[in-house]
Structure 1
């Protein structure tokens, strides 16, 4: 890390040339060039050799947008000159309401792109305005009208939904089972919990911050961010904490939902015009049905329901699983335990991330907080690096024949990741066969690693066991080879019941049909949002909206929210009582999703994964591009829905296959 003054200057006006030059050694240059062109109006900053190479990602991420060493030197020279100018003289920023200017800045980072991407890019930049802010209000559309909305969950999705509902003047109540906002980041407090995506991208486009402590921030920092957003937007006033929703039942006569809750031992039922489920996918722990689990003499702790009262010091710890949560917790547990046994079913693929647990360098952090809008352009650059990400590396080539890869590009990625493992375990050839996966990269969640995993498994007091579990006994876990792995504490890193959407609520729709009866083990939804037979019920982070190798789930929750707001506008303007997606549209959409998932590594591979339901259907993942979801949720198409009027009659527009229809107007920037 480059040495920087301590303490650093409070503002740009107080920064010396020497400090600026030193801080620039830690800067991400393409985003900083854009921020300074924006701040000073000087587009010449972006000309010539300093332009990033753009284009698709390689197997591993290029530094500084692929700029050459000489280009980086030239970029720093230009930036230092411009920072001095910004510090010492009056400047006029660019007017980003001019579409051509905004596009020029955006495409400096991205390289040439199709016009269809530009509105999405502007949405994520969040300039010149919050592109997701509704441009209508319930009371203006229908004077005197009221729209009662119940949101279930005050996590990442529930908060953005509550914010947008308040913007349109709806009467909002959020039911949250916990005592604070934050959802999974409030509940998951196991040691080592952190993001495995960059945290600038894991933030709302309308609530961006500059002071993230790390690139992959730990759980407490993410929770503080959501708490700050709740405070800044005054969202807590509409949240009923410590209140669990047990039952949702649709009243066909009234066209409303009966929402039954329980709080402090008291049951209450309220009536709501619409319900939005924002309970997410990763909220119900998966407790494995291992014989003898209840008979273990010591504590059994699941990573998703961490018991902080359990002392691991000098204990024999057995961890079941090597998925994302266990992968993060095991190195920390090994630091305090007398011995750690890791029971692995399938090894994970790991993406090298040298900065996975390091603080953002001081110089970069200072620039992000003191150069106007630099943090926005930095976030945008990270967004663009992931918007398609490695999707093309996990897409199936039907002509490719290999048990461990699904295409030539997937094989390229596999060889790069396998090479990393060979480097990490070069001094432990006995471990190497057990840490190299025998399935294609992308078939299961790929994890981030900075070398910690190898260092942990190579410890003398850590054993990696790959034999299957036979049963659990009072004093440990016995594997199928007959060995007993003695334990004082068992940690379950066994994930979640991800495909049990809206669990554990009972949801009863039209005709008294219960959701699980309608969907069985495969609850599906149109766009992950709406389900036939359940009018005015909407979902966020619903079926098939999980992102694996590209994009950000925060972005998908924002787009899903904006789509729901569009549904409510259509409902209000029509004076309708309820709306539900037409079955034919729903079926055509899900057929398209299933066919696309079959052509992704996670659909083609038979390896076990939480991406799939009990039936084997890929129930979680989004297989198409991010811009596909943007375009599908861009506008609500009336021909995709059936509407019920106050009199009980219904109307249905002409149904079109998903993706067809007239072109839409762009959001955020004109075409």
Structure 2
């Protein structure tokens, strides 16, 4: 994928220009055109989105008349720009940049710190999150190396930031290619549920996404392109699994035991280790009696068997989570009969353009006003900084017996229920698919209507009876019925709570990390763990986003924090950095207290958010700004430097 913003001069006639501008979301369109043309009076105070209106096409939160007027103003500015023969744009001065940023994130207040965050996300002036220190000047005679475990999205950004600072980095990847999640999950229909202008690195934005929410092959191509663009491929040892990481108290170094595909082992030493193995990388198969007795092919969606042709066969899908909602529709198109086994109905979120290609009009804008992609990203970021978080905050005075946790949570539930009534007209089916848990208690899943339509096909059955056991020929239900199947597909999620497994990690004094966690993983900022010096986690405990933003943002924040920790080590000429238990505990008490005030924290619905100890170990309970603020740089008082 091309990672550029090459601009083409505008030579279209007036009618064509007006037609191209007539479909774009208003806020990023006006900001991008104002920046390109220098006509900042386009940012009129009377053109602001209405927060009561849905952020969906065609008007994206604007009254229709306001949207039409704004788009016409943008088109007229582009016509004047064309008539001036498309001069190179002038970089906005600080006052103009603030006006642009405030316009697209309105009605949010923008103080100086938040403005800095937004400018980093925009990256109009280049990579604003690059480290400002270098090994060559901070510790020119010090040799310091870092081993990164995993070459997925998080591992790549960690390696990139550390290398920018001049740190010696090696990346070890168990798979034969990079990409992590976007390599392993190749099931039909796999795509991202965050708009792509936001689901991308701030330092590697592009206007060449083919869809609003791109598919797995496109995303894999993007991460491969990033690795090539930033010279990361040469750092990665593919087909190399880290079996064990062991800290040496005497040398203050980590020894990694590596195993290749042949089973041969070797050792690699490093001063620090970054675990970027993720939360959703080990498939979870359900504990169902007889699971290995099935006579036909069966597999997990994250290990899709592309050699199995389901055409004309009786297929079972167990699970109705995010992956299943994506692969059920294409499976139904090929199977003779599809039975979907549901334990808990998910909340589906209507996203009309979720499966759509970018319209020709948007592609025209991206060619002629390429920074439109940046402003669209920032508009989406501003909208998702809080996201639907306020709708999930528990009102302690609210009566939860009506299946909600607050007045705004109940309003969201009622609005979605109305949508369910429209797309599931059959009352019997609607009774099965309408969730009975709080809005926000489980992962909510975007759907353009495709999954909803699939469940209403005559050759598709949604089964909600409990599964008793798997038999050689199919599935025996607890109520005594038996359903014959030729193929079983498990869409049953991942071992999300088992952080860093199956790798063994041994810290100071020979302490085993998994023994210390005892099934309840915790870390300071989701990144550092007491008694495990110079070990840093990406996408660690309580850093999963639930109702706001993009996980790439969290990985960028963590990568900067880790890089700054290494900088602190070198600046202090220290051998190790170890999180103080009191800092770790204080942080986790803060997280737990907030979690107890969120819909997912007070719900008893079954969810992968909750670990075997009953604690929510995955989710971040605050907004995006708070994590950025906490991870800009380490507080030396939180650590022991030796």
TM-score range, shorter chain: over 0.9
Q: 2:461 aligns with which of 441, 460, 463?
A: 463
Residue 78 of structure 2 is aligned to residue 79 of structure 1: no
The 1-side partners of 2:416 and 2:329 are apart by 21
Measured after TM superposition, the shift of residue 62 of structure 1 is 7.9
Task: Pick closer, same or farther for the CA change 1:416–1:221 going to 2, 3 Å.
Answer: same
Structure-2 residue corresponding to 1:258: 255
Task: Pick closer, same or farther for the CA change 1:298–1:467 going to 2, 3 Å.
Answer: same
Structure-2 residue corresponding to 1:501: 499
Paired residues for 1:33-182 under 5 Å: 33-53=30-50, 64-89=59-84, 91=87, 93-96=89-92, 98-111=93-106, 112-115=108-111, 116-182=113-179
The 2-side partners of 1:555 and 1:94 are apart by 28
Q: 2:8 aligns with which of 3, 11, 15?
A: 11
Tell me, which stretches of 5 or more residues in structure 2 are unaligned?
Answer: 1-6
Residue 636 of structure 2 is aligned to residue 638 of structure 1: yes
| Deviation readout 1:453-485 (Å, 9 max, x if unpaired) | 221111111111111111111101111110111
Structure-2 residue corresponding to 1:246: 243
| Deviation readout 1:162-217 (Å, 9 max, x if unpaired) | 11111011111100111221110000011111111212111000000101111111
The 2-side partners of 1:247 and 1:324 are apart by 32
Question: Aligned-residue CA RMSD in angstroms?
Answer: 1.6
Structure-1 residue corresponding to 2:275: 277
Q: 2:324 aligns with which of 323, 326, 333?
A: 326
- 1:317–1:337 Cα contact (<8 Å) kept: yes
Task: Pick closer, same or farther for the CA change 1:234–1:607 going to 2, 3 Å.
Answer: same
The 2-side partners of 1:258 and 1:279 are apart by 18
Aligned to 2:375, the other structure's residue is in SS state helix
| Deviation readout 1:540-581 (Å, 9 max, x if unpaired) | 101000001012110000000001111111110000000011
Structure-2 residue corresponding to 1:188: 185
Q: 2:218 aligns with which of 185, 210, 221?
A: 221
Measured after TM superposition, the shift of residue 424 of structure 1 is 0.6
Measured after TM superposition, the shift of residue 526 of structure 1 is 0.5
Measured after TM superposition, the shift of residue 387 of structure 1 is 1.1
The 1-side partners of 2:386 and 2:352 are apart by 22
- 2:186–2:302 Cα contact (<8 Å) kept: yes
Structure-2 residue corresponding to 1:540: 538
The 2-side partners of 1:288 and 1:74 are apart by 55
Aligned to 1:66, the other structure's residue is in SS state coil
Aligned to 1:325, the other structure's residue is in SS state helix
Structure-2 residue corresponding to 1:204: 201
The 1-side partners of 2:56 and 2:274 are apart by 37
- 1:30–1:64 Cα contact (<8 Å) kept: no
Q: Count residues in correspondence.
A: 632
Measured after TM superposition, the shift of residue 48 of structure 1 is 4.1
Tell me, which stretches of 5 or more residues in structure 1 are unaligned?
Answer: 1-9, 645-671
Paired residues for 1:364-443 under 5 Å: 364-403=362-401, 404-426=403-425, 428-443=426-441
Aligned to 1:172, the other structure's residue is in SS state strand
- 1:320–1:342 Cα contact (<8 Å) kept: yes
Measured after TM superposition, the shift of residue 75 of structure 1 is 1.4
Measured after TM superposition, the shift of residue 356 of structure 1 is 1.1
Aligned to 1:13, the other structure's residue is in SS state coil
The 2-side partners of 1:73 and 1:62 are apart by 13
The 2-side partners of 1:303 and 1:37 are apart by 46
The 1-side partners of 2:586 and 2:173 are apart by 34
Structure-2 residue corresponding to 1:553: 551
Residue 445 of structure 2 is aligned to residue 447 of structure 1: yes
The 2-side partners of 1:484 and 1:65 are apart by 48
Aligned to 2:622, the other structure's residue is in SS state coil
Task: Pick closer, same or farther for the CA change 1:335–1:65 going to 2, 3 Å.
Answer: closer
- 1:322–1:346 Cα contact (<8 Å) kept: yes
Measured after TM superposition, the shift of residue 52 of structure 1 is 3.2
- 2:18–2:76 Cα contact (<8 Å) kept: no
Aligned to 1:209, the other structure's residue is in SS state coil
- TM-score, normalisation: structure 1: 0.92
- 1:292–1:473 Cα contact (<8 Å) kept: yes
- 1:21–1:80 Cα contact (<8 Å) kept: yes
Task: Pick closer, same or farther for the CA change 1:534–1:142 going to 2, 3 Å.
Answer: same
The 1-side partners of 2:60 and 2:489 are apart by 41
Aligned to 1:594, the other structure's residue is in SS state helix
Aligned to 1:617, the other structure's residue is in SS state coil
The 2-side partners of 1:373 and 1:308 are apart by 39
Measured after TM superposition, the shift of residue 92 of structure 1 is 6.4
- 1:394–1:441 Cα contact (<8 Å) kept: yes
Between 1:190-199 and 1:510-519, the stretch displaced more is 190-199
Measured after TM superposition, the shift of residue 18 of structure 1 is 2.5
